[in-house]
Amino acid sequence: MIFLTTIIMVLGVSSPAYNCTTTITGRDASADGSVMVSHTDDGMGDARVVYVPAMDHPEGSLRPVFYDNAAMGYLPQWGGSQTHRLVTDTRGPGYRVNNETPSVPLGYIPQVAHTYAYIDANYGIMNEHQVSIGECTDKAKVHPMPEPGKRIFYSSELSRVALERSRTAREAVKLMGELIDTYGYYGTGETLLVADPQEGWVFEMAGYDMNGTDGVWVAQRVPDDGFFVAANQFRIRDIRKDDKDMIYSANIFDVARTKGWWQPEKGLLDWAEVYGDGEFHHPYYSLRRVWRAQSLAAPSLNLLAWVDGPFTRAYPFAVTPDQKLTPQDVFAIHRDNYEGTEFDLTKGLAAGPFGNPNRFEGGAESTMNKEGSLSDLEGDFERPLNIYRCAYAYVNQSRRWLPDLVGGVVWYGADRPATSVLMPFYPAGQGLPDSVQTMDVLTFDRNSMWTAFNYVANYAMLKYEYMIQDIRAEQNRFESRAFGSQQGVEAKAVNLLEDGKKEKAKALLSQYTKGNADEIFEAWWDLSTHLYVKYNDGYINTEDQIAQPVFYPAWWLKAVGYEDGPTSYGNPSGNN
């Protein structure tokens, strides 16, 4: 009973922490022919983005496999901390954290002679050979706990091993499947999107028994002209044995039949329904985001916003965009708060007088009655693509017409998409700025990129519809410059490569991305002080005039009882 309670507590704490959204854009669906993967890491935890260098390893060495907070929340017996997912000297300098408990391996696997450089975060992001990964957590029927010798892999460490060892998406998918089969899987259900310059795959996995020693998994290729989105619910449906665009674990049918979850005589095995358990938290927590993302990419489909249940067939596996997508288009999807729809979170009383789209989440304790006991108040807010608790977001591009050093680029945005700025980083370059590798949610750190963006995003909630205009002006300034200058910088790097000057090409890209990031970093702290001065005490303050009043809109005043205020000496209630 105590063990069961612990599991429930862990899942209760961790389940909203990494409920992300992720997309793939096929090469024929993108404006420039790249394969794109995007991801929002929607959790209040470790927002560091870390560079892991390429490494050579002695023959016979072992690679440690660590527990990760992203799996089931912070479990102190496996080391690390609430704010730092890994503490180890085995992954380069980025994961060396002073004065914290070293991470404890769940187990080991044989190491390879050489591992590739990659950019890492709560899940692997992209490696030097343009293999790219995105992620979202899914609700499975069974969420086993980690156990050395039986279940040592979760999707986070799977993604890292894949980036360390794979040159193609197919290699990465097959490797992760083999690791699950051999070393066991624990934690929540998971979706990993895996891409390279040629193609993109959806790889979904789950445990199926609390004492199991393996797991189940399936992968499906995204059509080259397709746009795919996942949002905390399995998206692969019917398993077709003769489909060349589908790979799955050897046990997928036997497990489902043995568990009584599927009867072959009733038709094809529906992965999402057989191994999944619907949506996280409440109806439309996942499906609304799938509907919105697909509708933004392909509005001509006129997709239905209301469906008959969690396993609806209303939303295709992938859609063909009405117009080919750019990285900016994909990130605009992640910045969305349902603006212009019936679910618009910038409208209504819950948005307050100044159109704040952020809706804080809470449990039953947030709806106590006057006597202090839990009330029977039930309800939920819409869950948007853009959410206040996002730690970081990105759009990766894998470009087949460019050498790996230049072709793989991560367009990274700190904190939530709506208030972040996309900045480019190259996994095959010389590393990342210290500012993006520095973060502690319990520390106000002026050396942290995340802190700067999170601070501005939080402050903007005071008068959102006004401050977001200032923020967007800075977004547009920096993003327009970065996308405008990218081709010229990359052309110089390619010329250096053609002249045999690889290290100079790396240095050029790294100097460019570091300089750009440093300027944005400084500008965002400047923006924080600008917003403070301009909107101090609820006014608008400029050099032309200070204390310009900004009163509340009439509709909101009516809704909150402004007209019942003290406008005369009489008591409107008639009571003394």
pLDDT in tens, 435-464: 999 999 999 999 999 999 999 999 999 999
Closest CA to 234 of 199, 197, 188, 200: 188
Q: Is 64 helix (H, G, I), strand (E, B) or coil?
A: strand
Collect all residues with Cβ–Cβ distance below 8 Å to 487 and sequence separation of at least 6: none
Question: What is the rounded average pLDDT of the residues 423-444?
Answer: 96
pLDDT of residue 189: 97
Q: Is 355 left (phi over 0), alpha (psi -120 to 50) or beta?
A: left
How confident is the model over 502-515, as pLDDT tens digits? 999 999 999 999 99
486-493 average pLDDT score? 97
User: What residues are paired with 189 via a beta bridge?
Assistant: 138
Confidence (pLDDT) at 511: 97
Give residue 2's pLDDT: 34
Structure tokens at 95: 């994961």
Nearest residue to 478 (alpha-carbon basis) of 414, 539, 432, 532 = 414
- pLDDT mean over 421-438: 97
Beta bridge partners of 410: 396, 425
Q: Per-residue pLDDT for 196 more than 90?
A: yes
Q: What are the structural domain ranges in the chain?
A: 398-538
* Residue 366 confidence (pLDDT): 55
Alpha-carbon torsion 488, 492, 498, 501, what sign?
A: negative
pLDDT for residue 373: 67
Encoding tokens for residue 203? 């790889």
**pLDDT for the residue 1:** 36
pLDDT average, residue stretch 316-327 = 98
- pLDDT band, very low/low/confident/very high, at 573 (cuts 50, 70, 90): confident
For the stretch 462-484, pLDDT in tens is 999 999 999 999 999 999 999 99
Percent of the chain scoring above 70 in pLDDT: 94
Instruction: Return the pLDDT at 4.
Output: 36
Q: Provide the pLDDT for residue 9.
A: 37
d(CA 241, CA 244): 8
Residue 195, both tokens = 């891409």
Question: Taking all residues of the chain, what is their mean pLDDT, rounded to a whole number?
Answer: 94
Q: What pLDDT shows up at residue 10?
A: 41
Contacts 24+ apart (CB under 8 A), 403-406: 403/494, 403/497, 404/128, 404/129, 404/130, 404/428, 405/128, 405/429, 405/493, 405/497, 405/502, 405/505, 405/506, 405/509, 406/490, 406/493, 406/494, 406/497, 406/505, 406/509
Separation CA 23–CA 37 (nearest Å): 6
Q: Averaged over 556-564, what is the pLDDT?
A: 94
If pLDDT is split at 50, 70 and 90, which confidence band does 78 have?
Answer: very high
pLDDT-derived band at 273, boundaries 50, 70, 90 = very high
Q: Work out the pLDDT band at 374, boundaries 50, 70, 90.
A: low
Q: What confidence category does residue 16 fall into, taking pLDDT thresholds of 50, 70 and 90?
A: very low
CA distances from 302 to 296, 305, 342 (A): 10, 9, 14
Q: What per-residue confidence (pLDDT) applies to 361?
A: 87
pLDDT for 14 beyond 60: no
Mean pLDDT of 139-168: 97
Angle at 145 between CA 233 and CA 41, to 5 degrees: 40
Mean pLDDT of all residues in 148-156: 96
Joined tokens for residue 191: 């979706």
Residue 369's pLDDT band (cuts 50, 70, 90): low
Q: Which of 188, 219, 220, 190 is nearest to 205 (CA)?
A: 190
Report the run of H or E that residue 108 belongs to, with start and end.
Answer: strand 105-110
> Residue 143 is encoded by which pair of tokens?
């969420």
**How does pLDDT run across 248-266, given as a tens digit for each residue?**
999 999 999 999 999 999 9
The C-alpha atoms of residue 86 and residue 122 are separated, in whole angstroms, by: 9
pLDDT at position 367: 57
Helix (H) / strand (E) containing 393? strand 392-398
Model confidence pLDDT, tens digit, residues 86-111: 999 999 999 999 889 999 999 999 99
